[in-house]
Structure 1
Amino acid sequence: MTEAVPRHRKRIATATTLTAVAAFVSAGVALAAPSNADSGSTTLTGTTPGYATPSADLGQAAAAAQVTVRVYLAGQDAAGLDAYAQSVSDPNSANYKHFLSTTEFRNRFGATQAQVDAVTKWLNGAGLKVTNVAQHWVDVTGTVDAAQKAFGTKLHNFATPDGALRSNSTDVKIPAGVSAAVLGVAGLAQSKQHAVTNHQKNDTSARGPVQNNDPSCSDYYGQKKAPATAPAVPAGYTTPATLAQCSMVPSELRDAYGVSKTGLTGKGARIAIVNWYGSSTMEADANQYAVNHGDKPFAAGQYSEVSDPSQWTNKDLCGFGDFGEESLDVEMAHAFAPDAKVITVAANSCFDSDLVAAEANIVDNHLADIVSNSWGEIMYSTLGDIDPASMAAYDQIFKQGAVEGIAFDFSSGDCMNQDTLSTQTGLNCDSTASRAQVQWPTSSAWVTSVGGTALGLDKHGYSFEAPMADTRSGRTAPGAASWTPEGSTFGAGGGVSETIAQPWYQTWTVPRSLSTTLMDGTKTKQPKRTVPDISLNGDLYFSSTLVGSTDAATGVYSEGGFGGTSVSAPSWAGILADAQQAQWGIPVGFANPAIYARSWLTNDVVQNPRQIATSPTHSVIFEYPATSPVAGLFRLVSYGADEGLPASRGYDLATGVGSPTASFIRSFGFGH
């Protein structure tokens, strides 16, 4: 938990604080082992945020100021949890799919009452007040003076680019007697890092519920040449210039990925969507969207929400009122699995403390079989690196999900390799990224990282895919002699983790040359986690996806083209629901071992699909439709070159193993 002081990209509004060594070893995060600062305490190494430097020190925080802290609980038998989570997910294990109930998990791996009692006694003894005891953590409040006593450090104020922030000035210390019960401590350091969604909306009004015969776009790739009024494309771009495809609708997407051929609808599966806040018109919007495109609306009881608006905080920072992400996630999940139940679990803010609570609610009460998340955060910021406490807390929940047969997926991000070019020219990218990197939690070894592609259709459906990446010109008037410069870049996230070890399931498929080369070119002896794992359409201009929602301010429902790996992640959740139906309703559970075992059944996405290999720079013309305020203007959009993440045969850092097919989905019904 944290004070209501914003942070930056998907973290909890907590701080950089800590964790017990066992948790970090299992998460693959390389931290120094805790050391005994004296005979009675254990130091949680690496828990001082990067901004807390002597040169930035503004002095002691007021002793009476209030602090809110969350102490995450390690539970019992962390090593056993790691082992069982792997064995229950590995097709080659005797424990494969021997999932535990929530009660069985709690009894075997959860925090014991003795651990909880020891932690609360320690905190109370330091003068802190326990405000909440949950299965995974203990929340406390109190004065700066009490917090300093409890955690063996001084709290100072520090000058940062985000203003003065309070933080522990040295690494946290905890009593040695409770160290085995503590996973991490969050909240001592203030931060303005918070979660962000991985979606973008193209800057036009709706293509309209009816796609066919729209003169400003093509029903499939290459159908319509750009009008004579469009400026000529430069040498080396795709010629003849063609109009971008109309925003895609559910039936086109189901056909493209083979779902329609399978006849599967996700019946019997439950999909949870995790975002923050929630739209009061979500179910009505999803139903309207489905009916507009020839699909069934939700049946009574098929859609539900877990939400408490009275607890929502940080609305200005987190973008309250923009419900495009929720609409996108719910509608895509329903599109790919129209008979699956869908539940929106609304976090109270975009901070990690609230997002962790939302994820924990799902596993502690087994609310779903599949959990889709279209958000993430950078790991290395100019303001300090990611909070190891939140990483450990997330991973503990993801492993609990694996043990209970619950799959988690996360979008891989929309800022390519997150380097300086990406953050300066990208859409909705984090300008504080200190270097090329992968996002979190998508890079956790215990989730499916879902990347994006640009999907090309033909008259019969699927034609080709390229990596998801758009570079666009500025809006350009008809008849212009040249294109207006702009250069905004948007592409699917991917890459190699600096700290997380390669999980066992990637050893089967990921080339060692990729997994041992960090994103700055440094070679490592031990392979690392690479992302994404699998990909689906998410392009913004070449193959955007139509999404419907009601504007919170006007109350008007409309549809428009969206892109991003936020499209890809809920689409994958729907396909996983179909796979669950294929295997007679048995949950897939943690899906990555199954994905890599079936990599030969996917569409292998490469840099230059043979259908368009003659063009050095793949491009289309985006024309603003008659319904747009800038109707008649054009953009030149190049696609398929995901900066820093080239696609190739087999596994690659742009699209993972590729995209699913009918054979891939059907294969889940074999051998069960």
Structure 2
Amino acid sequence: MGHQPARRATGAFTALAAATAAVLAATGIGGAAGIGGATAGAGTGAPAAAGTTFVRPASSGHSLVEAADKPTSTSDCLKTYRIRCYSPLQYRKAYNLDPLYRAGITGKGRTIVIVDSFGSPTVQHDLDVFSKAFGLPSTKVRIIRWGKVPKFDPGNTDHVGWAGETNLDVQYAHAIAPGAKIVLVETAVAETEGLTGLPEMMNAEYDLIKKGVGDVISQSFGATENTFPGFAKGDHSALMKLRYAFKAAAEKNVTVLGASGDAGATDYMLDGSTLFKHRVNSWPSTDPLVTSVGGTQLTLDNSGKRLGIDTVWNDGYGASGGGISGIFDRPDFQRSVAGTVGSHRGTPDISLTASVNGGAWVYSSYASATKGWGITGGTSEATPLFAGVVALAVQQANHRLGRINDDLYALARQGPSRSGLVDVVTGNNSFGGVKGFTAGKGYDLASGLGTIDGTAFVKALARGAH
């Protein structure tokens, strides 16, 4: 979620059981429910009880620079702010996307749906300023207000935080897929730990999916699985009743993405500010119907050329979310990595840039005190970036791609030259005093399958794992 909490092997049975036991013992979580249902009361409809405490907006706390007059180069950021900063043009080069743009693959004819509480009152103006600054074509953002969205209050930290998240999401989805349409869904209630706010988001997504709107949905929000009602007793029905939007997306071949979180292998309690002291994970990132997007740290020069290999995001301001679900069984697409995930769903699936020290330039004017350019990071940066990549692949394929997780894991077995997947082998996601997971060769619970070479990956994803 931005720099703030992203609310945040096959083989003999004995070998798999041992791997599962080891993972669960290290994780400290209990029994799981089936992928398609809960241990009790699964189905659709209104959730049972609601949480009570608002979680901080997804990118809250991840902006290290605000109100700058203009975006500057990476070298200037190092001199002035002592951190790295990057533009969308640097990301395009780093991820080798320019060959696609030259070939006319820009996301044209495709639609990215972005869901954020409250939205931003200046989202269109700010996108226009952002696009002009980097020589990008702008686009008209279609705004859908779901429910009685309150008037923006610059004195309300919740409103301000979500406005920042909204601008980040819109600007970077557009930067990667400049030809795609952007639909911004603003909901009336903020996402919180527990349930409050999530039903509004799921209802909005479900409605748009049923109406045929959107090829890919970008979600920079989440709630720790352990904070859902009934978790401690193994009753996951409250969460399972929220999955109807994702099931509808699967039926309509809409790709759904979720930020893996910004607190490494742990995440936040119901109060939204206290970290669990053991490994936990967050939904919707853990949902098998969702592609979980984790975070890396890039080291680029002013042009976007890499000065070193990508590593797991863990820069002191946050760390890439990843670990084992306490609710969902291991899905079929992770059968090949059962030695790592055991019998439960593991996250993330894939990772893109998210480091705050190496964050993205974002323009905002919704609050006079912070009007101007800021630098923001987090997995809520990585997620809209990847949404743009998916939109490119949908255009390349000339049809929706739907659930892409099966193809991602199948492509990984084909090697980087054919799949466009680039392994991330260094770094870990330990955070908040909780030991995380270490990146290594192949799939891991810090970076997933790794990151991408954009041109090769888009072509591979478009053709499928054939």
TM-score normalised according to structure 2 size: 0.79
Alignment check: 8 A CA contact 2:229 2:238 kept: no
1:341 has 2:181 as partner: yes
Deviation at 1:191, TM superposition (A): 3.0
Deviation at 1:352, TM superposition (A): 1.8
Change (3 A) 1:206 1:256: farther
State the alpha-carbon separation in 2 of the partners of residues 444 and 655 from structure 1. 17
5+ residue gaps, structure 1? 1-7, 11-23, 33-43, 45-71, 75-182, 219-225, 228-242, 472-488, 517-526, 609-616, 618-637
Alignment check: 8 A CA contact 1:313 1:349 kept: no
Alignment check: 8 A CA contact 2:292 2:349 kept: yes
State the alpha-carbon separation in 2 of the partners of residues 436 and 447 from structure 1. 20
Q: How does 1:35-54 map to 2 (within 5 A)?
A: 44=41
SS at match of 1:333: helix
Greater RCO (CA < 8 Å, at least 6 residues apart): 2
5+ residue gaps, structure 2? 1-5, 9-32, 191-196
1:513 has 2:339 as partner: yes
Aligned to 2:97: 259
State the alpha-carbon separation in 1 of the partners of residues 134 and 96 from structure 2. 18
Q: How does 1:307-386 map to 2 (within 5 A)?
A: 307=145, 310-312=148-150, 319-322=158-161, 323-350=163-190, 351-381=197-227, 385=231
The structure with the greater share of residues assigned to helix is: 2
Aligned to 1:491: 319
SS at match of 2:444: coil
Change (3 A) 1:290 1:404: same
Change (3 A) 1:574 1:645: same
Change (3 A) 1:294 1:209: farther
The structure with the greater share of residues assigned to strand is: 1
1:560 has 2:374 as partner: yes
SS at match of 1:582: helix
Deviation at 1:394, TM superposition (A): 3.0
Q: Which has the larger radius of gyration?
A: 1
Alignment check: 8 A CA contact 1:442 1:448 kept: yes
**What residue identity is the alignment partner of 2:160?**
G
Q: How does 1:241-280 map to 2 (within 5 A)?
A: 244-245=83-84, 247-263=85-101, 264-280=105-121
Alignment check: 8 A CA contact 1:642 1:654 kept: no
Aligned to 1:665: 458
**What residue identity is the alignment partner of 1:591?**
I
Deviation at 1:309, TM superposition (A): 6.9
Pairing partner for 1:461 from 305, 330, 335: 305
Aligned to 2:290: 447
Aligned to 2:408: 595
Aligned to 2:254: 406
Deviation at 1:461, TM superposition (A): 1.6
Aligned to 1:114: none
State the alpha-carbon separation in 2 of the partners of residues 407 and 25 from structure 1. 21
Change (3 A) 1:360 1:455: same
Aligned to 1:415: 263
Measured on the aligned residues, the alpha-carbon RMSD in Å equals 3.4
Pairing partner for 1:569 from 365, 383, 386: 383
Q: How does 1:170-181 map to 2 (within 5 A)?
A: none
State the alpha-carbon separation in 1 of the partners of residues 277 and 45 from structure 2. 25
Q: How does 1:76-115 map to 2 (within 5 A)?
A: none
Deviation at 1:366, TM superposition (A): 1.8
State the alpha-carbon separation in 2 of the partners of residues 651 and 607 from structure 1. 12
Deviation at 1:362, TM superposition (A): 1.9
Change (3 A) 1:466 1:357: same
Q: Percent identity?
A: 27
TM-score normalised according to structure 1 size: 0.56
SS at match of 2:159: coil
State the alpha-carbon separation in 2 of the partners of residues 249 and 184 from structure 1. 43
Change (3 A) 1:493 1:669: closer
Alignment check: 8 A CA contact 1:417 1:645 kept: yes
SS at match of 1:380: helix
Alignment check: 8 A CA contact 2:112 2:183 kept: yes
Q: How many residues align?
A: 411
User: Once the two structures are superposed, what CA deviation does each residue of 1:462-507 show, in whole Å capped at 9, x if it has no partner?
Assistant: 3421101112xxxxxxxxxxxxxxxxx5101000112311111111
